[in-house]
Chains A and B, each alone.
Chain A
């Protein structure tokens, strides 16, 4: 499968714990995006990378959130001291070079904070 992959698919954690999610984009895609989706809402942008550089962060990305993309390949999203409000689907998308903005999404990581 050459699509975007995410791991884990589901994560249940207790409030206050740290969690880390991984995204593997489509190979050769140099842009990678993280979004968060809550029930009944569309995805909301969190942050994006071009190669290894983090180019933009949303105001939604509090200081408890950090994202990395070492070597411009896979990316990780870490949430420290999780809160119940962090419960959501975390989606990763990637796109290749070129003018058009076709972003391809992974299956998402569903986070439940108890």
Chain B
């Protein structure tokens, strides 16, 4: 089954403790992206990647890092999480010729 998976689905952490949210897709897609969703602000793009070793900033990249060492994986790294990064995070992927962006199930992060 074609899908985008994220782990963990729920995470509670404390300020300053580094964490990584993993994202993996099994559709051989070139394009992957991370979003955060906050009440009243909708979905905002954090980072995206056009292919392996090619990444670029979205609208709200501050406080986040990403890497794309393999085509299927696109982890989101919070080196020093802060409470304002408490949010619902979505990973997505799209093929180079496809129009449809496929989204993962989301990761709820709470930073205390």
- Please determine whether chains A and B interact with each other in the same assembly: no
**Interface positions of A (Cβ within 8 A of B):** none
**Interface positions of B (Cβ within 8 A of A):** none
